[in-house]
Amino acid sequence: MKRLSIGVRLMLWYLAIFAIGEIVFGASMWLILRHNLYDIVDDGLESQMEDLKNFLEAQKPNATVAKLQEEVNETYAIEHSGDFLQIHLETGDLIYRSSFLEKHPAVLMPPDQIKRTIFRSRKVDGRHFRFAYEKLDVNGHTYTVEMGVHAGDAVATLQLFRSSLLMFAPGLLLVAAVVGYWMSRRALGPVDALVKTAHEIGGANLGGRLQKLETGDELQRLSDTLNAMLDRIETAFRRVTQFTADASHELRTPVSLIRTEAELALRRSRGEAEYKESLRHILFEAERTTVLIEQLLAIARADSGRETLHIRAVDLRQTLTHLVDSWKQVAAIRALQFSASLDDTNTFVMGDETMLRRLIDILLDNAFKYTPSPGSVWLSLEHRGQSALITVQDSGVGIAEEDQVRIFERFYRVDKARSRAQGGTGLGLAIAQWIVTQHRGSIRVQSRAEAGATFQVELPTIAAPAQNPAASVAK
């Protein structure tokens, strides 16, 4: 079943609460009015009862029953106050009974049930009465008195009040329904506007935003929150689009170079040396493309959160010692000085050893790439308090200050041609920074143009483990 709209539901709730309120209010007012009206009637009865008591007191204490009957008859039979009166003596002798009560004895009570004053409403022949039942102790006698009065006016007033309530109730409910619906529409109107705008926002116009509300209520908070979310989605979306565009561009360059090289080689026959040269170029570009694709995959995996790190206690000194050997060979090939200074003490961090090796490789690779021969590259590891400090320093081309903030961005290269010629992709430092962040560390650069560069990575250390257990596998 289709659910009712919030507006209609609010209106129905409002209506239900209003109806309950109206019923409770009406019933309370009716009960209060009834109580007050009967109070007035009962006051009248009480004063008549007082008159009767005074009258009985005025009788001789030793008067006979017959005498009493005579006296009461004389006084009350002719007055209307005796129309609904019955008096018994404790002996059971009847002193007085009006003709009305002769005809309608049902309104009376058995005398033994009357212990204190009781007031009762009675309906006889379609007329409303109020009766008081009381025991009067007078001159050593106990009289059981039952006295009634007309309560028609009180009942008529009550009925009028009730029918007025019933007559106005539907009208009031209708007004409440209309007001309730209007209020809910007014309150929820901005929601419709938000929904309409939200519908219009899509991939093609992610810049669209929900209308800014100044209501200072939940709706304003909702629209502000949704707009902030749209900001984040737009940023992420633009990042992905930019990344795809940059990646395609980066991939196109080596592929077209490979193609051009092959086309040129095939255009006419050449000597073996020329073919070899062409193949070397093609191989270089193919290798570069392979590195690029691997790095693109690494970044895509990192972005999607699917890159799994195998975290365990890693002895950085041992890891770096292994790396130093292979980089010494690179240094020899490139005619560069390479020296490493690693702290004597073991330095343990919780991390993924493969990733940490990759991090140092990226920094050393850059140092070698951007340091022309003759030049030097230094690697050091220091244990400082709770952190391990890895420093990769070179005496190369350096990085101007304005570029230092951007070199960690994807595809950012200070000198595109130089980076390309060195087989760079512009992704190395972005990956390095991701690895450092995953290890809860930090990376910073100090450099000046043409004055070498120093990259420093700081990672939190742990105490040396008893053995080297695989701690956990985390993302």
| Residues at the contact surface with ligand ADP, assessed by CB under 6 A | 362, 366-367, 369-370, 394, 396-399, 407, 412-415, 419, 424-430, 453
Q: How far is the CB of 304 from ligand ADP (least distance, A)?
A: 20
**All residues at 6 or more sequence positions from 44 whose CB lies less than 8 Å from its CB, including other chains:** 149
Q: How far is CA 91 from the centre of its chain?
A: 81
- Number of Cβ within 10 Å of residue 294's Cβ equals 13
Amino acid at the residue 244? T
Backbone dihedral angles phi then psi of residue 446, each to the nearest 5 degrees: -130, 130
Return d(Cα 295, Cα 236) in angstroms, integer.
20
Q: Which CB, 277 or 415, lies closer to ligand ADP?
A: 415
Q: Which CB, 254 or 424, lies closer to ligand ADP?
A: 424
Q: How far is the CB of 363 from ligand ADP (least distance, A)?
A: 7
In 243-359, DSSP assigns E strands to 309-315, 337-342, 348-351
Q: Which CB, 101 or 429, lies closer to ligand ADP?
A: 429
Q: How far is the CB of 409 from ligand ADP (least distance, A)?
A: 8
Q: Which CB, 313 or 453, lies closer to ligand ADP?
A: 453
Return d(Cα 222, Cα 224) in angstroms, integer.
5
As given in the structure block, the two tokens for residue 242 are: 């930019």
Q: How far is the CB of 331 from ligand ADP (least distance, A)?
A: 14
As given in the structure block, the two tokens for residue 329 are: 């060979």
Continuous segment of H or E residues that includes residue 183: helix 152-200
Helix-helix angle 152-200:218-267, to 10 degrees: 20
Q: How far is the CB of 220 from ligand ADP (least distance, A)?
A: 43
Q: How far is the CB of 5 from ligand ADP (least distance, A)?
A: 54
Q: How far is the CB of 451 from ligand ADP (least distance, A)?
A: 10
Q: Which CB, 80 or 328, lies closer to ligand ADP?
A: 328
Q: Which CB, 289 or 425, lies closer to ligand ADP?
A: 425
Return d(Cα 79, Cα 84) in angstroms, integer.
11
DSSP conformational letter for 106: G
**All residues at 6 or more sequence positions from 218 whose CB lies less than 8 Å from its CB, including other chains:** none
Q: How far is the CB of 353 from ligand ADP (least distance, A)?
A: 21
Q: Which CB, 181 or 412, lies closer to ligand ADP?
A: 412
Residue tagged 């008195």 (tokens): 145
Return d(Cα 433, Cα 408) in angstroms, integer.
7
- Number of Cβ within 10 Å of residue 72's Cβ equals 20
Q: Which CB, 101 or 377, lies closer to ligand ADP?
A: 377
Q: How far is the CB of 312 from ligand ADP (least distance, A)?
A: 27
**What three-state secondary structure class fits 340?**
strand
Q: Which CB, 144 or 366, lies closer to ligand ADP?
A: 366
Distances (CA, A) of 441 to 295, 386, 390, 458: 21, 12, 11, 5
In 14-74, DSSP assigns E strands to none
Q: Which CB, 26 or 398, lies closer to ligand ADP?
A: 398
Q: Which CB, 26 or 396, lies closer to ligand ADP?
A: 396
Continuous segment of H or E residues that includes residue 423: none
Q: How far is the CB of 394 from ligand ADP (least distance, A)?
A: 5
Q: How far is the CB of 372 from ligand ADP (least distance, A)?
A: 11
Q: How far is the CB of 310 from ligand ADP (least distance, A)?
A: 24
Q: Which CB, 82 or 398, lies closer to ligand ADP?
A: 398
- Count Cβ neighbours within 10 Å for each residue of 98-109 and write b for 16 or more, e otherwise: bebbeebeebbe
Q: Are 111 and 144 within 8 A, CB to CB?
A: yes
Give every strand in the sheet of 118-124, ordered side by side: 94-97, 85-89, 141-150, 127-138, 118-124
As given in the structure block, the two tokens for residue 317 are: 């000194």
Residue tagged 């053995």 (tokens): 467
